[in-house]
Structure 1
């Protein structure tokens, strides 16, 4: 490992997708910016995971970008996690990534350049494993280190996954366990490394997306900074349904519950629950359970409106009721 004495997480105010601008503030910022123009199959309207532009009857471009500060101390792992997270938006639309560009901010007079090489190497390895190409990018001198990708992919317009196509009576599946948020918070506070969290964050959502498309599923989203409750609420709102979640069916990573009970809860997670709570019906559900369901994920799994092999069913979509999300 390069420069093991340097703890990258100590150079960032936030961590991973937990540092997103709060959802309610973000929605207010983009309110009134207009509906999607002709040819843009997916734009701002429903807060989906990427923009999709139709080229012809057989192909459409998927465009997205994502970046954040260090979520782990190991620079190579941070590069891999950030790259997998950025690619996830393409998979969440049912697409295949083609080319990516690096986005890098670096305090060049504070942190050594060899760390940058490790971050970029991690990103390159993940992009290569996805069968895509990394073609350069852009860098700036900044007070805090940040890394991510701008990604372009392709998708067939008839095999698109969207967050506004959910139908009542369809089960909900989640392809990765929750808990990377609280484990990353514990890692930042203590330096303890959680290999299961790193493995989850660096696992591509490619297989899950391909399985969803092969099953004829049309509705999905990825679970990242707004947590399962937040992204589930957005899907339900866009689709005009209510998302019912069986809390006992939602899997979590080893150590996540203990980390939460020890207080390693990010501000982003608390903001997620605050945002969702007016639209949430969860009688008798413990606050710790709700916080885990709101845990800000980095490179989380896909929330799929349908069943796919290997993914536990965690609930269902029902006709729209008083609340957008119900937890049982």
Structure 2
């Protein structure tokens, strides 16, 4: 019998994240945490990973990410989930050193061979990143869940944050949008073979430019675009720095087939929840169509790095992306003084 992993998922990939407004409410109710002097990044900035300084030369970067299936192929699911988890390490400018597997599987529904393929897919990505899967934890659950705890190291003075952008910075996006739309089309059985190939190519491409970006003078802030969509993660950057973002929708790279589906009204439930959670902070030009708003809030699984850099660093940043195979990286807007909102024309 053929197994379709997405049939087990109420929401796949980063589309199964808790909505931003709900998450904020949950975190607001959490007790105050102990904040050691050497904790360089914690919960305060909604950043991509926690960072703890070991000494003047080294800091440890730690993150965890896991989700339910976004595709039916077990090996592809494992590859996507692992790539997505390691992305947070690269987004902080760090070099990954080790991973631990997080595994939750419905053992009465999935053959052991299928579960093994998921883990093999994740391990193959870790091997590509040059790190071992050194352990992990597994449980028997109702939905398949897979991901990683990822650890990395960075020099404290090379650490990239999401809250340190400056007025006048250029915004550069490393990967095209549209993964969520394609995943919704896949679940409806409408995604073409070419569209699926594009989806896999983007979601399994490691965000390796991160450490090189950290070495570029003029790179002020970086995050990766995942479940809250481009607008959501850009808003975190704006709020952290107290700046206003101005986006040019026509400059934003988008996967071709995702545009066609978005025009037809194909979207994830997470895209609608994202807009409900932060849409009041996004001003859309009246000339923009509803499908364009869908792409701005589209949840990206293993999405691209979003960089805020000085204008004179733009070409160096773009060259860094392109030298590592990110040909679609592009400037998409600027940050200016003003309220922490986004304007899109």
Please, what TM-score do these two structures have when normalized by structure 1? Answer: 0.95
The 10-residue stretch of structure 1 (268-277 or 163-172) with the greater mean CA deviation from structure 2: 268-277
Which residue in the other structure is 1:139 paired with? Answer: 138
Which residue in the other structure is 1:326 paired with? Answer: 343
**Equivalent of 1:257 in 256, 259, 264:** 259
Which residue in the other structure is 2:241 paired with? Answer: 239
Provide Cα deviations, 1:124-143, integer angstroms capped at 9, x if missing partner: 01001101111121100001
Deviation of the 1:111 alpha carbon: 1.0
User: Does structure 1 conserve the Cα–Cα contact (< 8 Å) formed by 2:78 and 2:121?
Assistant: yes
The whole-number CA distance in structure 2 between the counterparts of 1:146 and 1:67 is: 7
User: Does structure 2 conserve the Cα–Cα contact (< 8 Å) formed by 1:196 and 1:254?
Assistant: no
The whole-number CA distance in structure 1 between the counterparts of 2:265 and 2:249 is: 20
Does 1:210 find its partner at 2:207?
no
Deviation of the 1:276 alpha carbon: 2.0
The 10-residue stretch of structure 1 (267-276 or 117-126) with the greater mean CA deviation from structure 2: 267-276
User: Does structure 1 conserve the Cα–Cα contact (< 8 Å) formed by 2:93 and 2:212?
Assistant: no
Deviation of the 1:271 alpha carbon: 1.0
Provide Cα deviations, 1:139-181, integer angstroms capped at 9, x if missing partner: 0000100100001111111001101100000100000000010
Which residue in the other structure is 2:32 paired with? Answer: 34
Q: In angstroms, what is the RMSD of aligned CA positions?
A: 1.3
The 10-residue stretch of structure 1 (191-200 or 78-87) with the greater mean CA deviation from structure 2: 191-200
Deviation of the 1:191 alpha carbon: 6.4
SS in structure 2 of the partner of residue 166 of structure 1: coil
Deviation of the 1:263 alpha carbon: 2.8
Structure 2: give runs of 5+ residues left out of the alignment: 323-328
The whole-number CA distance in structure 2 between the counterparts of 1:166 and 1:145 is: 38
Deviation of the 1:212 alpha carbon: 1.4
Which residue in the other structure is 1:112 paired with? Answer: 111
Structure 1: give runs of 5+ residues left out of the alignment: none
Please, what TM-score do these two structures have when normalized by structure 2? Answer: 0.91
**Equivalent of 2:332 in 299, 314, 328:** 314
The 10-residue stretch of structure 1 (102-111 or 25-34) with the greater mean CA deviation from structure 2: 25-34
Which residue in the other structure is 1:23 paired with? Answer: 20
Deviation of the 1:199 alpha carbon: 0.4
Aligned residues: 323
User: Does structure 2 conserve the Cα–Cα contact (< 8 Å) formed by 1:105 and 1:146?
Assistant: yes
SS in structure 1 of the partner of residue 265 of structure 2: coil
